[in-house]
Structure 1
Amino acid sequence: MKEMPKIAIDARMVSRSGIGTCIQHWLKDVGYKIALGDPKELAEYPEVPKHIPFISGIYGYKEQLNFPYCKLRREKPDVLHIPHCNVPLFYRGKMMVTIHDLTHLVYPEFLPSKIVHLYFKFIFWFVCKRANRIIVDSESTKNDLVRFYNADTSKITKVLLAAGKEFIRKPKEDVEYLYEKFNIPRDKKILLYVGNLLPHKNLNGLLDGFAQMKGKEDCRLVLVGKAFAGRTNATKESDLGIADLTIHAGMVSQDDLVNLYNLADLFVLPSLYEGFGLPVLEAFACGTPVACSNTSSLPEVGGDVATYFDPKDPSSVAQALEKSIDSKGMFDDKIDAWVSQFTWEKSARELAEIAAEVAGK
């Protein structure tokens, strides 16, 4: 039996959505020996025996200056796993780095300044040169690394993500309380969007498509996420004449999120770009069909189970919504077979194997 490498991880983002979800699952299953981050947050993960305090913002020079180089060096890890692009520039040990997406390079016009663009342009270049192994969630991100940096494909490995075990099918009676909680009419079909207002998420594209959808009067578009809290008089919805057909649920608990996936007749993801697209698998795991963009990684995650549209063409969005809104329950076996290929245990096992290769164990 091969010796397990001593793996450390920068876990500062553990409490965030997206990358934080990945870190939460990896901390439990990969077999890390050291985690860097907030000791209070890391206390929830006894699977990792050693915690090194590292409380610093993400991105910028402060995290570089505050990185616990000396403390980590004393622990002598075989490999350091950086689960995002913000690598410690002065670390000299072996590193494997997860790059989830290159949104900042694909859509630089969405960044607040040229300086931010230059920062990400440099940091991705540094990862390509410095990392012993680069881990991506999709072929799409791998192709982007090659396109922008002519990255060495021999050191890029794809490790798939998965929906959490809490995302399961539930009986109708267990989720009906949501009608009253979010003022959703019981006699309407429900389209669900989960996300934020970042430009590449393309919410406006979804609203334009929904406004053109035939039969939209028999539907309600439920928008979930922090950005929608208190957003009851959004100008865009009013201008399109769909204000009365749109429900802003705001931030919801994890239980409510799972139940909303179950309650929905269709989940919609209109993003211009995704490095993976976890909500697609989350919706599938709850038995809900998906209509999503035909861009970036989404066809990899949705396979031949999802319905696709051109996110920049409102008529394409509308047609996909019309085609899919009545499909719930029609392809359950196909959905289950597809989702079963994605598990966090498999993701963790592959990360551990990669770390062993990098460490030479």
Structure 2
Amino acid sequence: MRETGADRRQRVLAVVEARGEVRVTDLAAELEVSVITARRDVEDLARAGRLRRGHGVARSLVPVRQAPVPGERDTGVVALVVPERHAYLNEVVHGARAALEEAGTRIVLHPAPQVAGADRPIVERALAGDDVRGLLIAPRWRTVDAEAADDGWLAGVDVPVVLLERRPRRGSALHARDSVCTDHWFGMHLAVTHLVALGHRRLVLAARDDSPTARALRAAFAEICAARPEVEDATTVLSAPDAGADPAAAEGPSLAGVVRERGASGVVMHGDVDALMLVRQLAEAGIAVPRDCSVVAYDDVVAALGSPPLTAVAPAKAEVGRLAAGLLLERLGAEAGPARQIAVLPELKVRGSTRSFDRVERKY
């Protein structure tokens, strides 16, 4: 999903507030945008009263604390490492930031580029600073092999670590670390149960296959559908040509083709933007939503803006960030006991893209 200007400006503001003052050229290099774009974002934020502009620099309106206030515990600096241009995690980041700032803890954002193995050198550089005392991280883990490769070194980091929106593999070294993640099995359960209750018996999941969330959703869909005797057929396809870790998998049939071939009347779509585009593709193929096919999106960032507004599973992303920050603060305060794995339940927002299945009215 392409990063919006608002999301990018939030990253600019986070970096500036974390450091107090940043050169615009440094902002552009760190966020991997042009200097013109970075300067425009700084100007927009200054006009909105969010920061101050200087000659070639951006200055925070929030003082950067260099030392603890007398009587307060010193929690130092928390490094936050997340994939760059990953819109799903923006709300998670904001939730974590709010909780840490409320506790008086400085947070430094480190966006990780879309390159295999990028997380490790970023974490090592971040932890080289004497004041970094904790790490919040959402590794990209595009493949299962990438997750396995990160297991040893990340579990061995010598500061408290909390994984964001990542569930460690059972028995892995990271299994003994704290993590906070959306319960994606439950989210898929909500979507499938909703469609089945409306009379849909032949379902399709259109999902990515290049992230831990996507893999969790695919596994949950297969398991839940197999356990529901009402479901006559369940098929999974890629949500976009570039949505898979294996390029060869992109050569499969279109979603509209699969819906027609399988006689599907209910579709779950991973990712709001992909969902909006796929609804349009269905319409172009003569399959109207929801008359011919009901659609449930998974994410709920922009699902409500669709035509029709999309029914969607809505993960509590800000709450994931807040809880992860709270776990880390407990570790920094030496208050935490055994490692904890927290699962946050998403909600289902019912809108206009789902309806009771009517075999007579369906046109294809």
TM-score between the two structures when normalised by the length of structure 1: 0.39
Greater strand content: 2
